[in-house]
Amino acid sequence: MIDYLRYRIPIRIRLTLWYVLLMGATFTAIAFYLITRFQNSLRFAVDDSLQATASRTIATFDKDDLPEKNKLALDHLGQPMEFNSKFAMRLLSPQGEVWDSYGAVQPVPGWGPLEAGLTTQRGVEEEDEWRVLTQPVLDSGGRIIAWVQAAQSMMTVTESIQDLRAQLLLGIPLLLLLAGLGGYFLADRALHPIKKITHTAQEITAQDLSRRLSYIGSLDEVGELAKTFDQMLERLQSSFERERRFIADVAHELRTPLTVLKGQIEVALNRSRTPAEYEGKLQELLGQVDRLIRLSNALLFLSRSDQNQLSFEPASVNLNGLLEVLIEQIQPLAYEKDLLVNTKIPTELPVYGDSDHLISLFMNLLDNALKYTPAGGQITIEANHGVGGSQVHIHNTGSGIPLQHLSHLFERFYRVDTDRSNQTGGSGLGLAIAQEIARLHGGQITVRNDSDHGITFSVRLPARHK
């Protein structure tokens, strides 16, 4: 039942209840303090009044009457006005014999012992309480010649405390009611953005992520939540858009070779051909199949990378030997396009990585340079090793890349020139794969346009993966 109420009661009501509970505890503590302090103050006032009255009474005694009458009297005192019937006084001999009395002596339940000081005497009923002051009367030699006892009823104090307690018992619930209403209003106002977040979240679907809270107000915890919610929607919308583009691009990339395959197969079946013609047609079909395989492998690589499922077996590698092998492989293709390949690679270029992945990384960059370097151009591969690791720079001459495209080069299926990419057979995944491999090794790839209208890709790989 408690768990049910915990999850069913709205948070604004729970906040209000906690607020009222805290205020109730605070008011109760304050009320207890006020009653205790007020009661002590009244008691101290009674004690001070008794002491002042007793002192004035002793000061007015005619001590010359003692040898003549053998006792003292209170005849010189008038009727007490400040305490009326709630005050009494007795004059006693040193042995305790009552010489004289004054005021309402009979209601006093008991006067206590003949010892200097203040005592509290209680009657039969709990509320029948008197405060009694006993004070000696001394002669010039310091001998006790009499005792004065003054008593004050505490009924007025008790009634005052009861009245204060009744007012607090009535006032605290009213204050708690007002605090509860105010707390509910403030909680509802403070949680209003959360209600708006809930309604907005309920209206958002995968087909429409354009809704925003557009919160305007103080940047408190709720404001930060609303701001974070909008930022989350921005990221979700961007992610969904990338996913849609990715799916559309994959469908387009698969459709092109499949359409070519279907068309060539239909043409081959429409009429009889010589064995040589069939062999040529099969060679064309094999090229399209290879393109599909490369695309499938690239997509599989990126999918595994997104899920952190790539195999990674790092070891110490000398990039010098690896780059020389790759450059040797591209030399025939560079020769066909009349490209000059320049290298400046130190003998020792140590890195810590997976050889297979590093081959794929640099092969993609070199293949990209081959495709987009115009005939008669140059490709330059330079490398150096420093304290932080090794760097490889692959520069190719050409027209460069417009600045608005530079920041998007490593996005999947992104192409600066779609027609040109189709002519070169690129899928727009090579640079994305290269970047994922660099990230896997704890490295980084950057790109820049050079002053000679060329472009340079720089790969930084640490000497030891963190």
Percent of the chain with pLDDT over 70: 86
Query: 147: Cβ–Cβ under 8 A, 6 or more apart, which residues?
Result: 91, 92, 93, 94, 96, 114, 134, 135, 136, 137
pLDDT tens digits, one per residue of 220-248: 777 787 788 788 888 887 777 777 777 77
Q: Where in the chain is the domain with CATH 3.30.565.10?
A: 315-462
Report which residue type is found at 241.
E
How many C-beta atoms surround the C-beta of residue 337 within 10 A? 14
- State residue 83's pLDDT score: 43
* Tens digits of residue pLDDT in 37-84: 988 898 898 889 888 888 888 887 766 666 666 777 776 665 544 445
pLDDT of 415 over the 80 cut? no
**Percent of the chain scored above 90 by pLDDT?**
5
**Chain-wide mean pLDDT for the chain?**
80
Query: What is the per-residue pLDDT for 3?
Result: 54
- CATH 1.10.287.130, the chain: domain bounds: 221-306
Q: Using the predicted structure, report yes or no on whether residue 421 has a pLDDT greater than 50.
A: no
- CATH of the domain spanning 221-306, picked from 3.40.50.80, 1.10.287.130, 1.10.10.10, 1.10.3720.10: 1.10.287.130
Instruction: Report which of residues 373 and 227 the model is more confident about.
Output: 373
**Per-residue pLDDT tens for 348-368?**
888 888 888 898 889 889 988
pLDDT at 466 over 70: no
Q: What is the pLDDT of residues 144-162, one digit of tens each?
A: 888 898 888 888 888 888 8
Place of tokens 């990221």: 235
pLDDT at 81: 44
Q: Give me the amino acid identity at 381.
A: I
pLDDT-based confidence at residue 393 (cuts at 50, 70, 90):
very high
Q: What does the alpha-carbon distance between residue 246 and residue 432 come to, in Å, rounded to a whole number? A: 12
User: Nearest-CA neighbor of 372 among 291, 294, 426, 450?
Assistant: 426
Q: How confident is the model at residue 419 (pLDDT cuts 50, 70, 90)?
A: very low
338/205: higher pLDDT: 338
Contacts of 421 (CB under 8 A, 6+ apart): 415, 428
Structural class in CATH, domain 315-462: alpha beta
State residue 382's pLDDT score: 92
Q: What are the start and end residues of each CATH 3.30.450 domain in the chain?
A: 2-177
Tokens describing residue 17 = 């209840």
Average pLDDT, integer, range 207-226: 72
**Is the model more confident about 436 or about 192?**
436
Mean pLDDT across 10-24: 83
pLDDT band at 8; cut points 50, 70, 90: low
pLDDT over 60 at 196, yes or no: yes
Domain 2-177 classification at class level = alpha beta
> How confident is the model over 299-337, as pLDDT tens digits?
777 777 777 777 888 888 888 888 998 999 889 888 888
Q: Is the pLDDT assigned to residue 459 strictly greater than 80?
A: yes
Stretch 412-438: mean pLDDT, rounded? 68
Three-state secondary structure string covering 241-286: HHHHHHHHHHHHHHHHHHHHHHHHHHHHHHCCCCHHHHHHHHHHHH
pLDDT at 422 over 70: no
Give the tens place of pLDDT for each residue, 245-279. 777 767 766 777 777 778 778 777 777 777 887 78
Model confidence at 412, pLDDT cuts 50, 70, 90, reads confident
The answer to whether residue 420 scores a pLDDT higher than 50 is: no
